[in-house]
Structures are given as C-alpha cells and as structure tokens.
Structure 1
Amino acid sequence: MPDWIRDTVWWQVYPLGFVGAEQTVRRGMATAHRLDQVAAWIDYAADLGATGLALGPIFASSTHGYDTIDYLRIDPRLGDDSDFDRLVAAAHGRGLKVLLDGVFNHVGQDFAAFRAVLDEGPSAAQAGWFHLTWPEGTNPGDVPDHRCFEGHRALVTLNHDHPEVADHVVAVMNHWLARGADGWRLDAAYAVPRAFWTRVLPRVRAAHPEAYFVGEVIHGDYAGVVAETGLDSVTQYELWKAIWSGLNDRNLFELAHALKRHDAFLEAFVPMTFVGNHDVTRIASRLADIRHLPHALAVLFTVGGTPSIYAGDEQAFRGLKEEREGGDDAIRPAFPPSPDDLAPEGWPTYRLHQDLVALRRRNPWLHTARTRTLHLTNTAMTLETRGDGHRLLLALNLSDEPTEQPAPGARGLEAGQADLLSAPAGRIRLPPHGWAILAAEA
C-alpha cells in the first residue's frame, strides 16, 4: 500500500445524489457544472478531519452511474474535465486524497462498444468484449442474449478474458490518475475474475506507484481475494454487519467474533472499514437504539483499518435502503448548497465524529492495530487495542443499568464518559448505555 493510506480517513460522497442530478440522461442534455457543489463541501470534510474524498461514479452513464457509457468523459449531469480538475485541486489544497469509483465489471447498453455490436451484429469488431449469444435470425439492431450483472439486463458484463478489455481498463485508470486522482475503488470486484486484476493492476502501478486500489467485496475470502488480485484492500462488510447487529441484538459476542476475524484479516491486509455507505441503510436508521450510535462509531475509529464515513452519517442522516426500483433514493439524497444550511440537530453527531477522527489521527498506529477482548457479556464489553508499543481501551455498555468493567492499566479518559475507580485503574464504571475510550499503559 502507499504510505499515505496509513493516515487516511475517507469522506464518501455519491455525487449524482449529492448534487440533486436528474435520474436519467436525456439526449441533447446540456452539461450541468455541478461538481463545484461537491467542491463547496471540501472545507467541511477537512474540518471533520477527513483526509480523503471517496467519490461514487462520476463518468458518463445513463442513470445511476453504475451503467457507464463512457469512462473517459465526466457525466454531463456533473460537469466536464474542468470541473473535475477544480474538484481535485480543491481537495488536494486541503490535504484530501481523491478516490474514484471504477465500474469495470459491467457497462450500460449505450456503451460505445456494445452499441457497435447492436448496430453491426456478430461481425462487430468489439463483439468479443462481451459474452453474447446470437439467436438464429438475429438482425442488426437486435439485442443479443448477454451476460449481465446480478440479473439486471441493462448492465452488460464485460468479457474479462479479452485482452482489449484489459487494455481499455488500464488506459482509463491511468488517464484519471494522471489527471490527479489518487486511487480507485473497484465496484463489484467480487464479480470480476481475479486473474483480470493481476493483468491490469501491475500495469497501472508501473505508471502510478503511489496509487491505492480497494475492491468492493461483500462476502467470501477477503484475504484470498487480496492475495490473488494484487488489490491493496477490500471492503469489510463482515465487521459492518457485526457492529450494528451486535448492538441491536444486544449480543456483543457477535461483535467479538467478528473482531477476531478482523484481526486475522489484518495479518494479510488492512481492510476498508465503515458503518455506512451508499448501498446500505443509514446507520442512524439501522440502529434500533440511537443511543448506541456512539458505540458503533467508537468501534469504527479504534480498530485496525482504513475508516470511511458516508456523507451525511456524520450528521445522523436517516434513510432506509429498499429492494425496489428507486430503493436507493432515501440513502442518496441531495445535500443543501452549503453546510450552513444543515439542520441544527445533526451537529452534535458531527462534533462526535470530529472528536473520534481527531483521536484516530493522533494515534496513526491504529491503522494496523490488533484488538483483544478483555471482558464480554451480551451487553458489556471491554476491548484492548494495541500496536507499535501503544495501547487504548474501549468499553461499551448496552444495558439500562450502570456497569463496572475491567480496564487494566487505564490512565485517562480520551472520549465518552466513565469513572476510573483508581488511576491507573483496574476497573471503570460506565453509565447506562455508556461508552468510553481510555488511554492505557502500554
């Protein structure tokens, strides 16, 4: 991994939703220079403590951004190359790296190579870019049977064994890295043959050795994917699920089990960690008891990994993901013109994020830290996080009663609320539904 990722906390934005763009592109639509609306929030992200801006899809598409039609052109609903350059300059000017979203498993049906196939039939020069079946009697203009992404016929799966597909992806990645991007999130990386990334990534790294590559992997053998693809990291969905599920079910054994697996992943790579993103119900809506939102955040910012904050979660935005057409709309809302227009009730959560991100940045060793469970019941937990000769403790209480919990070597409160029963303490007292992060003797 590049050295800079050690200090990175991402602020993730889904641009098409963030700027209130039209849901579909109309023919002849004029370019709308809306990326400046994202740039207007860079100071807000930097003040939050973020050191990276992780963008959702920004390339020309027909609808939601994941049906790309031109990887080398900014979506006209967002702007053009000049708008992109200004956004990158604004981010870099405040010390934020820029991560782009590369949808290289599939394309939209208006992707130029697929349109050529429709126009010219099986003889099209780029027919080999896709997995196509041509029924007898097919005529030019007919849509052939084709592999698609998870049953969505409008998302045409690329043929990743075709060398021209690999060449195109390499060219796209290099183009935007040369324009100032610092890395790529690889959408649906789990659906792409692993050998494809081994053919693509070394060629990109040769030109951009400081670039960072994280793959979207929802489940499966995370460490195996990293080892076999050459990715720097993958998304840690296991931990995401265990955080909110363990809190909701008051079953901290689930969280402890996930953290043990998380430590095993850290032996091989540093996962991208999160409690929310553009594909899942907002954490403030997911939690059954909003009093446990700080608990979720305290876990996120005290365990190993590269943390990512989904824009709006730091203001306790709510939104339910639904499995229907338009089911992502609630979790991908338009933002107001400036942070000054945000509702006042969200700012306490913002300040909590600031405090925890600041703690994280004061302790860069947390990036690769390991976690050990010192005390565990269904509703109470004390965790020890250790690395590079440093040590922190995290204590959680989910019950309606105060708890006394072991906190060996605790010497001071870093965040939250707790009474140290001695200093250095062997035990602490947490209020009902309380949490605390404590400095501890190494």
Structure 2
Amino acid sequence: MNRAGIIHTQQHHHLYLTSSHEAIIRIQVPKGEGVNVTVIHGDPYNWKDGSWQATHTEMKLLQTDDLYDYWSTSVSMPYSRMRYGFKIETTTEAFFYTERGFYTERPAEISAYFCLPYAHETEVFSPPTWVKNTVWYQIFPERFANGDASRNPDTTLPWGSESPTPDSFFGGDLEGVIQHLDYLQQLGITGIYFTPIFEAFSNHKYDTIDYLSVDPHFGDEDTLRTLIQESHKRGIRVMLDAVFNHSGYYFAPFQDVLQHGENSRYKDWFHPFELPLQPEGDRPNYETFAFVSSMPKLNTKHPEVRQYLLKVAKYWVEEFDIDGWRLDVANEVDHDFWRSFRNEVKNLKQDVYILGEIWHQSSPWLQGDQFDAVMNYPLTDAIQGYALHQQSSQDAQIALTKHVMSYPASVNAVQFNMLDSHDTARVLTTSNENKALVKLQYTLLFSFPGSPCIYYGDEIGMAGENDPGCRACMIWDETKQDKDMLAFLTQLIALRKRHSAFGTYDELSFLHSEDPAVLHYQTSTADETLYFVFNRSLETKSITLPKENQEQWIDLFSETTISPTFSLEQESFRVLQLKRTS
C-alpha cells in the first residue's frame, strides 16, 4: 500500500484527551486499501522481564472522504501517560507505524513510539457543557425592536420605512429586546448573541468609543442588567460581542494620537507607520481593520492596552453575569493576548463561552487555551454547496467529512453553526427565495454537531442581500410574517431538543448514494438512531431505507410510520427515527 498516505501528527484532530486518563487516537490511511488498524499502547514505565507491557486495541473506521479513511479509538491511561504506535494489516502484509517511521517487526524499544508524556487535567479541552444543547438567536440591536423611543438618535427613521443603508438609524434598543423575550422563548431559543452594544458612532457599533459603557441609543447599564436577568429567568443565555482587534475613530486614546501625534502618551496603543496620522485617502498611514481608517488596529502587545482590554473582558462578566463573549476579527489578534483573556474570564466564571470570529480552519485557536469555538462558516459553505450550488451528494459528504474530521469531537460539539449572519446575505436571499431549500438547509444545519443559530427574522421569512441589506428592521406585523416558516423552525428546534441523536450524537454514518442529488446519513446515540435523507433536486426520488428493521421507521415531523421504500418529493427531506423493539 501507499505508505506515504498514512498520516498521524499528534495534533489535536489526531490525538486529544477526554480526561486525564483517556485519549482519542486517530489515524488517516489511503482510502479503500482494505486494511485493519490496531493501536499498540501502554505506560512507558510498565516493563516485565525486559519487555514493555503494551495493550493492543482495535481501531474503528470512523469516516471516509475522497482520499482517506479515518480510523479512531479510545484508549485508557491509568497513570496519565502513554507511548503508542500502530499495526497496519492488509491482505498481503503487516507493518508497524511509529514516530520514527515504519517497521516490519514491532519495535522492542519504546523510544521509537509516539509519546504522550503526561495527560494533565488542565490540558483536557473543556468547553461549557451547556453550549452543545443551546439554540442561538443573533440580534443586531439597532434593527430588532424599538422599545424606548426616548433614546432614538436625532436621525431616526420610522421603523421599517426604508431599506437600510450603512448609516441609517431606526431606533432599535435593548428595551425592545426585553419586550420580545417571550417571543424568543416560545420559538425555543436558549441563547442570544448580540452584535456590539457598547458606545460607538455607527449603527453596527463595531467602531467602539467606550468599551465600558452601553451605547445610550440602546439603553444604559440598568437596562442591560434587566435584560440579562429576564433572559436568565427564561432559560436564555446572553453573549456579547467585543472588538479587541481595533477601536473606533472616536475612541479617546486614538483621538489623543490624532491631536498630539508624537507627543501622545497613547501613540504606542496603535500601529502608526509614521506620525502625524493621516486618516484620509484609500490607505491610511496606520494599521486598521482592512483599510477602514475609522477602525485603527489596537496594539495588544502593549501592557496598557492589554490591561484595559482585559479589564473590559472581566467587567461585563463580573458586573452583569454575561454567559459568553463573541470576539470580532479574532484571528488578527495575537495568541498570547487570547490566552490571557481566557484565563481572566474563566477565573471569574468557568462556564463562560468564548467564541472567535474566524472563517477558516481554526485549530491553532481551539487547543483549549484560547477559544471554546469559532463561527463555523466552513460548515455553512458545505451545506450551501450541496443545497444551492449543485454539488453532488458525494462531494458534499467529502466536504462535510473533511470538516468534521479536522477537529476533535469535543470541539465540533460546541461550534457556532449558522446559515447567515449580519456579515452575509440572508439564507432566503442566497436560496433565491426558495423556502423549501431554506427548510432543507436548516434541517441539515440542526442535524450536525454544534450549537445552531438563527439570524433574527429568518424565522419569519425575511430576505436581504449582503450588508446593509441583511440588516433590515425586524418585521413585527404578523400579517407580513411567514407563519409557515415560523412553525417549521419552532418544530425543528423542539425536535433537536427532544432527540439525543439530533445534533449531539455519538456516531455519524454517511450512506452511499447513487443519485448525486440525494444525501443521506444515520446518526446514533445509546438511546436512538435517526436517518436523515435530503433531495435537493427538482425531481421526486425513490428512497429505500437501510435494511435493518425497515418497517420500524417513524417520520419525526409527521409522526407517521414510513414504509421501507417511499417517494421523496423535490427539494424536500425526511428525518426518521428507528423504533426500537424490546
């Protein structure tokens, strides 16, 4: 076989701890080689009569993509340390794979084996347990509801009277959210993610003026405290958004540098190429977010900047009991700052959820020392590739498998999964107003590990192109709401909460499909097995259930029994539960 295709790196997607006495080990081998894989493992100090006392544990084929088979197993470490290697067998040969390469005979000396020196409890990835069962609702505060007109900016427009623009205001505030908490509770929401609420110049508030004050257009500290308390009464967690990569133009230290240049005590808080600063033109002479002169990049290496921002991080946790931080442009801030950030907030409240805005593969931030999760746009891309861009079910399976296998299961369980956000076109718009495909995508989203999020208004059929179109005023006139979509998402959320194999399962098995438009897979826990099948095409498809207990499958949405072979209408799906017999 092609030994160059055998990969084990000891990085966290190949080796990770579930406790200080148990580890998950994975290895990739070339697809379809017909191998058996065994992991040889043991305590490095456990010798008897000059022989290392090792255990042989068979590995299980976990997933397959276009290039690799992914094998996995769990091993125990009574003394929290381990040496290990692999025995790989084909029909014609058997050999051993270790840190030092390949051997035809099992190495007698343990120095050749992979080494886990000691499994410290502090190195176990331990995200908050509540997150994997949370259904989020993202709110752009300026556009959700106007509950206190006395706080309206002078230029406030009547609610929903115009299409949004980059600088328009409609008076949305925190009181408006408080007045609609019962609505969110009835929908089934258990977490609210707010885009920034701190004092800022713009309507989006990503250009912070004062990180320690609620924007007066949104309310005050008492309003926020009431919102959080009322949310918690309803079982709803609250996550705030912070921008530590850059400040706003009117942030006092930046204004000081603009005014005093070389003589400003804050000049090292930022990254000037030269002084005085020159905000005008396409390329300001200081580092910024992108090339936006009103968003100067902060120097998070500077001791005073770090002290200030860490004070901010602790303040809103300690004083207001927030449940999470979403961190804007997180991949452009240094890792050392994020390690300090995590230590500070976790010491105050251990189960605070730390979510980084990163759009790409994010392993360096998800080792357990920085973030709990990132915004899972790669999953969004994989779902849209199949549902909207005519990607075959086989290619979709490959994309989904590569993504899931790039992280430990403990990471996947708390990723922040969404179909759209304030930074993208709305899902109804990307779906060309096709509500059937919106429902199909949401069911896909909710069926995968992670913490799903609904962007405000998607549940009642709001559409909108990229910013600013995706930031329109929430529609509260019930005669203009899509009640069918609202009922569907309410039911979907309820099913996710009710069924252990719906998103938080133990095993995922993709099933082969001859039809490029049909994607199907099974999920299972100790309590149940679910079968998901999707048909994104414009044709009705004939589906045959897996052979086991064919007559025992029940449709979760209709609560009816399904025959072994059934028709799946165009642009539709089924979620079926295996009815277990005693």
CA offset at residue 373 of structure 1? Answer: 1.5
Matching of residues 175-324 of structure 1 within 5 Å: 175-178=315-318, 179-219=320-360, 221-227=361-367, 230-251=370-391, 252-264=393-405, 265-267=407-409, 269-270=411-412, 271-288=415-432, 289-321=434-466
Query: In the alignment, is residue 374 of structure 1 matched against residue 511 of structure 2?
Result: yes
Amino acid at match of 2:555: L
Match of 1:5 among 102, 112, 131: 131
CA distance in 2, matches of 1:84, 1:241: 34
- CA 1:371–1:382: 2 relative to 1, 3 Å: same
Amino acid at match of 1:9: V
SS of the residue corresponding to residue 557 of structure 2 reads strand
Query: In the alignment, is residue 74 of structure 1 matched against residue 195 of structure 2?
Result: no
123-132 or 181-190, which moves further after superposition? 123-132
- CA 1:65–1:368: 2 relative to 1, 3 Å: farther
CA distance in 2, matches of 1:345, 1:79: 28
Matching of residues 134-213 of structure 1 within 5 Å: 134-135=274-275, 138=276, 145-178=285-318, 179-213=320-354
SS of the residue corresponding to residue 157 of structure 1 reads coil
Matching of residues 10-159 of structure 1 within 5 Å: 10-19=136-145, 34-63=173-202, 64-135=204-275, 138=276, 145-159=285-299
- CA 1:191–1:95: 2 relative to 1, 3 Å: same
- CA 1:9–1:16: 2 relative to 1, 3 Å: same
- CA 1:344–1:33: 2 relative to 1, 3 Å: closer
Q: Deviations over 1:171-195 (max 9, x none)?
A: 1111111212111011111221222
Q: Deviations over 1:65-94 (max 9, x none)?
A: 110111111112111111111211221121
CA offset at residue 229 of structure 1? Answer: 5.0
Q: Which runs of 5+ in 1 are unaligned?
A: 26-31, 322-327
CA distance in 1, matches of 2:452, 2:558: 19
CA distance in 2, matches of 1:342, 1:128: 53
Higher relative contact order (CA 8 A, sep 6+): 1
Match of 1:363 among 475, 494, 499: 499
Preserved CA contact (<8 Å) 2:288 2:295: yes
In structure 2, the partner of 1:401 is 539
- CA 1:269–1:23: 2 relative to 1, 3 Å: farther
- CA 1:388–1:71: 2 relative to 1, 3 Å: farther
SS of the residue corresponding to residue 539 of structure 2 reads coil
Q: Deviations over 1:398-438 (max 9, x none)?
A: 2233222243246211126997223xxxx443122221101
- CA 1:406–1:225: 2 relative to 1, 3 Å: farther
Percent identity, aligned pairs only?
Answer: 28
SS of the residue corresponding to residue 54 of structure 1 reads strand
Larger Rg: 2
CA offset at residue 260 of structure 1? Answer: 0.6
CA distance in 1, matches of 2:389, 2:421: 22
CA distance in 1, matches of 2:577, 2:372: 30
Q: Which runs of 5+ in 2 are unaligned?
A: 1-126, 147-151, 157-170
CA distance in 2, matches of 1:33, 1:382: 42
Amino acid at match of 2:528: H
CA offset at residue 199 of structure 1? Answer: 2.1
Q: Deviations over 1:229-281 (max 9, x none)?
A: 52000111111122123212232334322321232124351311111211111
- CA 1:172–1:139: 2 relative to 1, 3 Å: closer
CA distance in 2, matches of 1:256, 1:23: 52
CA distance in 2, matches of 1:139, 1:217: 29
CA distance in 1, matches of 2:329, 2:340: 17
In structure 2, the partner of 1:28 is none
Preserved CA contact (<8 Å) 1:273 1:300: yes
Preserved CA contact (<8 Å) 1:121 1:140: no
Q: Deviations over 1:95-138 (max 9, x none)?
A: 10000001111011111111122233223222221111334xx4
In structure 1, the partner of 2:18 is none
Amino acid at match of 2:137: W
CA distance in 1, matches of 2:408, 2:344: 26
CA distance in 2, matches of 1:127, 1:3: 42
SS of the residue corresponding to residue 146 of structure 1 reads coil
- CA 1:172–1:436: 2 relative to 1, 3 Å: same
Match of 1:414 among 556, 561, 570: 556
Amino acid at match of 2:573: W
CA offset at residue 375 of structure 1? Answer: 3.3
Amino acid at match of 1:405: I
CA distance in 2, matches of 1:139, 1:407: 67
Q: Deviations over 1:316-353 (max 9, x none)?
A: 210011xxxxxx222111225xx4x2335511101111
12-21 or 171-180, which moves further after superposition? 12-21
CA offset at residue 24 of structure 1? Answer: 8.3
Match of 2:488 among 338, 352, 359: 352
CA distance in 2, matches of 1:33, 1:259: 37
CA distance in 2, matches of 1:420, 1:134: 71
TM-score of the aligned structures, taking structure 1 as reference length = 0.88
- CA 1:177–1:77: 2 relative to 1, 3 Å: same
Preserved CA contact (<8 Å) 1:51 1:97: yes
Amino acid at match of 2:423: D
In structure 1, the partner of 2:572 is 434
CA offset at residue 441 of structure 1? Answer: 5.8
Preserved CA contact (<8 Å) 2:173 2:219: yes
Q: Count how many residue pairs are aligned between Structure 1 and Structure 2.
A: 420
Amino acid at match of 2:554: G
Q: Which has a greater percent of helix?
A: 1
